[in-house]
Structure 1
Amino acid sequence: SAPQSALITKLPGFNNNFPSKHYAGYVAIDKEGSKNLWYYFVESERNASEDPVVLWLNGGPGCSSMDGFIYEHGPFNFELTKTNIPRLHLNRYSWSKVSNIIYLDSPVGVGYSYSKDKSDYTTNDTKTASDSHTFLIEWFKMFPEFQSNPFFISGESYAGIYVPSLASEIVKGNKNINKNNKTSTNVTKPIINLKGYLVGNGVTDPMFDCHALIPFAHGMALISNELFEETTSACKGKYYDVPNASDECFNKIQKVADVVSLLNVYNILEPCNHKTSIPAFNIGSLPPSFLKLGKTEKPLPVRKRMFGRAWPLDVAVRPCIVPSWSQLLADSNGFCIDDRIATTWLNDPAVRKAVHAKEESEIGRWVMYTKQIIYDHNIGSMIEFHRNLTLSGYRALIYSGDHDMCVPYTGSEAWTKSMGYNVVDEWRPWISNGMVGGFTQGYANNLTFLTIKGAGHTVPEYKPQEALDFYSRFLAGEKI
């Protein structure tokens, strides 16, 4: 059963008893023990032995999943205090109310995860999926009592790539184990009881994601009808990866870019609370996919315009070495993102000790978005992954905060529709706490698209109650 050495007994900033058991530590994913992935595991506050186990992944590439733990749906709300240690309060909308949840720092080199061999910090989509699969196999050996629980994977942003690619690895791995079990009595690897997955405002396919930006800006009344029509006409309705785009098309796209450049890209309704005094227009909060729409041969006008938790789509989907966005931002933090609480708390030596993380002298400071990985987006579109998984009986929830301009809901709505599945639940409002929480459309083959009204890129951060509602209904297999 669960390793007692991984049990967390107390956390700086929180003086009460935990509502459920918490564990944290490292899992070595290679024979030499040099590649180590760090996790934080929260048992369900309801019925740990029967509730689903969910793996949570933040995006980046390079963003720690403690982002989700601290700012989105973890067991605590964090309050900034005058001392260095934030005060922790129980979060009534924690996803641990209805599930066991593993927050994983992945790939190696992110958050507290590390390798003794620095060449491991050069990685890609396939390696990341394979490493995360190995992590799960080893983790279930350490926590065998959870092996038969329903298992789901969830994540947001660049985890739109991580989640389906890992799910596919698991399906493949389970098939191999079944094959081996028929021929051998020596069962070494546990089967992972995968039931489905959730993706929030997830990068999926460059054509859909990048084409979505201008219709989104128009639909949200950010650009005039005239500018939208002129841009559509000049670009013939294609805003991304157009080999022979005219200068007029590029100029119109640049005009759209200028118009929306002062907005908070994660939530167009929110102000930008940047902790430095850099005014918004110096960095620009615009998705770089806007900056290079229309022509692939033009370089990004301002490389430093990279932004926080989401990967700039048009760069990510080219088959090249992707510098993590934080390398491009030099030492600046993500635009419109204030991660002081996380940085302060997770670098406190007492916290590192409590969560069984290596000391700073061994693996360096904890940062929300690491500069040390070199990441190659080598898989491309995820649509076929989604098709294979849903046709194999795995349930998928594709959810979108409808005020995110980073990975707009218009793209996710379009690609889910493009799968060509029959509509089995026509577009309708879904209800949370007696109010409209957003809108949903259900398709055959267990595919559901869902919007969250008024939420930005990180849905549970903006709408925690609604997020817990759709999450718990989806896990239970209920109609949302």
Structure 2
Amino acid sequence: MYKIILLISLSLTLFLAHSAPENAAITQLPGFNGTLPSKHYAGYVTIDANHGKKMYYYFVLSERNPSQDPVVLWLNGGPGCSSFDGFVYEHGPFNFEKTGGFPKLHLNPYTWTKVSNVIYLDSPAGVGMSYSENKTDYVTRDTQTALDSHKFLLEWFKLYPEFLSNPFFIAGESYAGVYVPTLSYEVVKGLDAGDKPTLNFKGYMVGNGVTDEVFDGNALVPFAHGMGLISDELYQEVTTECEGNYYEPTNSDCESKLAKVDGDVDGINIYDILEPCYHGDSSSKIRLGTPNLPASFRILGETERPLPVRTRMFGRAWPFRAPVKPGYVPSWPELLNSEENVPCTDDEVATIWLNNEAVRKAIHADPISVAGNWELCTDKIKYYSDAGSMIPYHKNLTARGYRALIFSGDHDMCVPFTGSQAWTRSLGYEVIDEWRKWLVDGQVSGFIQGYDKNLTFLTVKGSGHTVPEYKPKEALVFYSRWLEGKTI
């Protein structure tokens, strides 16, 4: 028995000692005083040596059992937003305290690394700490982003082969509602083709995710009415004039009614209707051209005429009419013609910390002179939407048995739960867990509906767009239960 215990202990020691490239280990972090509760690694994976295209990752081992716990890839959206948003503000290992000077870091009791190994990836190149020496790579699209992220994963697991047997999941929020299913599809396609190394892919999760132009585009009016933001009379008028088609008005009467809805919701925090805007009433500054409700994303090449284009920073859909390239997704700075931050958000702590050269050295990120300043969301990339609706991707993946959790903060007006609830229902899968409440500490924390094919839709009561930021305890509970295959 003693020999068995000794062998197990030796195996664990060897695992931890060889769990990553030695030069990727993080030994200290400016702003944090104490011992890290688990091992951290970070650095670059070169996915195109000829172009010098480098993808930056920050890898946090599970505090529980890193050799057995799932490996989860986390992606923030935009497109153009860094996954350090998730690390700093949502479910990373630290809570960042604003001090008026350099931030102080404290351990986060609700970090997702309590129960899983998490890879935070800045994607595509040009976002966050990821970059390319060939600036043509900053013109990209959905399909190329998925290919690049898949190449990253294959190369990353070559560096960390001891995690190949761990269950692997892909997760993200907002515009990662496109990133996650398209990347999952590439992973599965690679498995079918025999790509090496072989990833132990089990499923994916998407929070308040952009999905489909019809469902997303038609989501806001019912949401605004249900939340008491517009009157019964206006709701009836806009429903009648638009005939239920709010995302692409076909007549002037419809547009006129939508303009009234737009005016009523103007000034409300789009990411959480219960919260004030950090920058004040900045939402009105992004109304350009003909007022109109959010139009969902367009398919590349759909038409050559000027389009009402959805700006997708964080998934938000405030449209405008301008002569833009078909399928092109402008960034917030482009829309505002300024360097203003994403409306209603506070990125001060992350900006200070991640643009400190001592921090960049500690986390193995290239200096500002090489990789550029870190921004929560950048206008450095030019992004095109070419993947279309995500519904066929979800159908393909769930039909093959991969698990899917679609969760929504129910007070998000950016990508309202009404759209996610509708498109998950539209798949036509049998309901096997009828709409019910789910609890944390005996309190109702949201509602859930389970479908055949391992598809689950879940709401988080009182949460905004970034669920782990608004409801960290509840988020860790459903995340933990879902990863373990337990009833939520």
Q: Is the 1:29–1:134 Cα contact (8 Å) retained in structure 2?
A: yes
What letter matches 2:179 in structure 1? Answer: Y
Cα drift, residue 326 of structure 1? 3.1
Cα drift, residue 315 of structure 1? 8.0
Match of 1:310 in 2: 315
Match of 2:411 in 1: 403
Cα drift, residue 30 of structure 1? 1.6
Q: Aligned match of 1:124 in 141, 144, 165?
A: 141
Residue segments in structure 2 that go unaligned for 5+ positions in a row = 1-17, 297-302
Instruction: Note if 1:265 corresponds to 2:270.
Output: yes
Q: Is the 2:174–2:208 Cα contact (8 Å) retained in structure 1?
A: yes
Cα drift, residue 328 of structure 1? 2.1
Cα drift, residue 284 of structure 1? 6.2
Q: Is the 2:262–2:292 Cα contact (8 Å) retained in structure 1?
A: no
Cα drift, residue 314 of structure 1? 6.3
Instruction: Note if 1:467 corresponds to 2:485.
Output: no
Partner Cα separation in structure 2 for residue 408 and residue 422 of structure 1: 23
Match of 2:178 in 1: 161
Instruction: Note if 1:231 corresponds to 2:249.
Output: no
- Tell me the TM-score normalised to structure 2 length: 0.90
- Following superposition of structure 1 onto structure 2, how do residues 241-256 of structure 1 map, counting pairs within 5 Å? 241-242=248-249, 245-256=250-261
Partner Cα separation in structure 2 for residue 39 and residue 292 of structure 1: 33
Cα drift, residue 429 of structure 1? 0.1
Match of 2:385 in 1: 377
After superposition, the CA RMSD in angstroms is: 2.2
Q: Is the 2:97–2:104 Cα contact (8 Å) retained in structure 1?
A: yes
CA 1:239–1:278 in structure 2 vs 1: closer, same or farther (change >3 Å)?
A: closer
Partner Cα separation in structure 1 for residue 114 and residue 467 of structure 2: 17
CA 1:202–1:367 in structure 2 vs 1: closer, same or farther (change >3 Å)?
A: same
Q: Is the 2:208–2:407 Cα contact (8 Å) retained in structure 1?
A: yes
Match of 2:434, SS state, is: strand
Partner Cα separation in structure 2 for residue 319 and residue 168 of structure 1: 24
Match of 1:290 in 2: 293
Percent of matched pairs sharing the same residue:
60
- Following superposition of structure 1 onto structure 2, how do residues 60-459 of structure 1 map, counting pairs within 5 Å? 60-83=78-101, 85-177=102-194, 189-242=196-249, 245-274=250-279, 281-283=284-286, 290=293, 308-312=313-317, 319-329=326-336, 330-459=338-467
Q: Is the 1:307–1:335 Cα contact (8 Å) retained in structure 2?
A: no
What letter matches 2:447 in structure 1? Answer: F
CA 1:272–1:291 in structure 2 vs 1: closer, same or farther (change >3 Å)?
A: same
Partner Cα separation in structure 2 for residue 455 and residue 91 of structure 1: 19
- Tell me the TM-score normalised to structure 1 length: 0.91
Q: Is the 2:287–2:320 Cα contact (8 Å) retained in structure 1?
A: no
Q: Is the 1:95–1:101 Cα contact (8 Å) retained in structure 2?
A: yes
Please list the CA deviations of residues 191-249 of structure 1 after superposition, one character each: whole Å capped at 9, or x if unmatched: 1111010000000000000101100000111101010001101111211224xx22111
Match of 1:461, SS state, is: helix
Residue segments in structure 1 that go unaligned for 5+ positions in a row = 179-188
Partner Cα separation in structure 1 for residue 201 and residue 164 of structure 2: 10
Q: Is the 2:295–2:317 Cα contact (8 Å) retained in structure 1?
A: no
Residue correspondences, number = 458
Q: Is the 2:267–2:282 Cα contact (8 Å) retained in structure 1?
A: no
Match of 1:36 in 2: 54
Partner Cα separation in structure 1 for residue 70 and residue 265 of structure 2: 41
